[in-house]
Structure 1
Amino acid sequence: MKKLVFLVFPFFFLFGCGADPSIDNDTVKEPIEGETPTSTVDKPELVPPETNLNQFFLTDGSTAQFLGDGNEYASYSLKTQWMNENYVATYEDNGGTVMQRIYRISTDKISLLAEIGEAYDAQMPSVEELDAMPEIGIYLSTPLEVGTEFNDWIITSTSETVETPLQMFTDVIVIEKKEEQGNVNRKYFAKEFGEIKSEFIMYEGEQETIISSTIEKVK
């Protein structure tokens, strides 16, 4: 069995969490005579497949390879699995562990529903289970314009040009999160690909250390 490896910088920390087992997923109750049955689950407001936010993930079955710099675990492969137009999972394998992340795409944001470590044989939940899962974070939120804030992140650019080993990307969306001690996390998003680059910039006095992962190829 592979061993879970914890890294020494914040945005590469590995978390494991899933849906609350206490949630009652679409429980079917026997109706009382004379009463109209009602649903026990509040369904999330979902969107049709042509929504712009669907463009920030690779197609079903695609695997992207990311080239790391600054840390041995910054290089990883990322496989994408779609359940339907509103639910998608990614499987990140950095050589130390496999991390499954599950997302819900709704009218105005991409919600993170789960981060599960050691996900070597992880299965995608059913649609009913996905509908009942609570949001544990926001991955990307509209409006996609400079100044939009969510989960301590802020959109700092929507027109960045980013050169990668795969290709040159234009009109890249950049989000940034600053930590109290001054360290900075950045993520770069391109349409039809999703996250194409991430950076963690650590400051120790006047010394700057950058750990990055950049998309290298897709198959």
Structure 2
Amino acid sequence: MLNKRIIKIILILLVLVSGCAANEELGNNAGEGIDNNESIIKIQEKVYAYFPMLEGMHYEYRGEGIEYAAFIRDVMYVDPPFIQVHNNNGGTTIAAIYKVEENQIALIRREEEFYSDKNLLSKLDKDVKVEEIVLKTPIKKGSSWESNNKKMEIVETNMELKVSVGTFYDVIKIKSHALNGKSEMINYSYYAKNMGLIKRESVGENFNVISELKAYENLKFK
């Protein structure tokens, strides 16, 4: 279970990320120029390094391929191990609640057409039902799992990836597809260490939809 000390360390890493801009590009080499602090190394080895729990974070994604590919993601509330995230694509807002642990990130609840700032975390049971496992250890190429009638696989690690907001390092690429054979669509999600989701892509026959990070800030520190 995460505690406030770990959240603060992740916040420090995120600040270091934003300081790595060069020629107006951003990077997430948070480890460069700092000592091999045992606590930081331990965090970076855990799955939640790719899904930071930072209340107030605001992410904007540009989109292409369909009308609602662009969206805004806000981290509304954090009560470890739970995090409440709102995704607004201009057509609807979905509240998603995740359980963030050392070995996996799990989606446990979704509320569609959610147009309020209500905190849904206070009434959660600690033993909640998992709807979908988004990411799990080990973080290595070829690692796979099945969840919510999908197969997920980590197909790349330690990637360097340039998106609209800048260049990120230590990126993992996750491939997912339906197990029921009814859809041939392949989905890819890209997570950068100490930042989170920076890009996702859906690929099908004559079909390609992309959402990628174009801006981010912590609204609590404005």
The verdict on a shared fold, with TM-score over 0.5 as the criterion, is yes
How far 1:115 sits from its partner (Å)? 1.2
Structure 2 counterpart of 1:177, one-letter code: S
Q: Which residue of 1 aligns with 2:94?
A: 99
Contact 1:58–1:193, Cα closer than 8 Å, also in 2: no
Task: Give the direction of change, closer, same or farther, for the CA distance of 1:218–1:130 in structure 2 (3 Å limit).
Answer: farther
Task: Give the direction of change, closer, same or farther, for the CA distance of 1:165–1:72 in structure 2 (3 Å limit).
Answer: same
SS in 1 for 2:124: helix
How far 1:54 sits from its partner (Å)? 3.1
Q: Does residue 119 of the first structure (1) align with residue 114 of the second (2)?
A: yes
Structure 1 counterpart of 2:137, one-letter code: T
Residue range with higher mean Cα deviation, 107-116 or 79-88 = 79-88
Q: Which residue of 1 aligns with 2:74?
A: 79
**CA radius of gyration, larger in:** 1
Contact 1:57–1:195, Cα closer than 8 Å, also in 2: no
How far 1:210 sits from its partner (Å)? 1.1
Aligned with residue 131 of structure 1, among 107, 126, 131:
126
- Equivalent residue runs for 1:3-14 within 5 Å: none
Q: Does residue 197 of the first structure (1) align with residue 199 of the second (2)?
A: yes
Task: Give the direction of change, closer, same or farther, for the CA distance of 1:107–1:159 in structure 2 (3 Å limit).
Answer: closer
Partners of 2:57 and 2:188 lie apart in 1 by 24
Q: Which residue of 1 aligns with 2:214?
A: 216
- Equivalent residue runs for 1:6-155 within 5 Å: 46-48=1-3, 50=6, 51=43, 52-55=46-49, 56-57=51-52, 59-121=54-116, 123-127=118-122, 129-150=124-145, 151=147, 152-155=151-154
Pairwise CA RMSD:
1.9
Task: Give the direction of change, closer, same or farther, for the CA distance of 1:82–1:94 in structure 2 (3 Å limit).
Answer: same
**Which structure 2 segments of 5+ residues have no match?**
7-42, 218-222
**Which structure 1 segments of 5+ residues have no match?**
1-45
Moved over 6 A (4+): none
Partners of 2:187 and 2:200 lie apart in 1 by 8
Residue range with higher mean Cα deviation, 132-141 or 192-201 = 132-141
TM-score by length of 2: 0.70
Partners of 2:173 and 2:209 lie apart in 1 by 16
Greater helix proportion = 2
Q: Which residue of 1 aligns with 2:18?
A: none
How far 1:82 sits from its partner (Å)? 3.6
Partners of 1:215 and 1:110 lie apart in 2 by 20
TM-score by length of 1: 0.71
Contact 1:83–1:124, Cα closer than 8 Å, also in 2: no
Percent of aligned pairs with the same amino acid:
22
Partners of 1:114 and 1:165 lie apart in 2 by 30
How far 1:59 sits from its partner (Å)? 2.2
Partners of 1:162 and 1:111 lie apart in 2 by 25
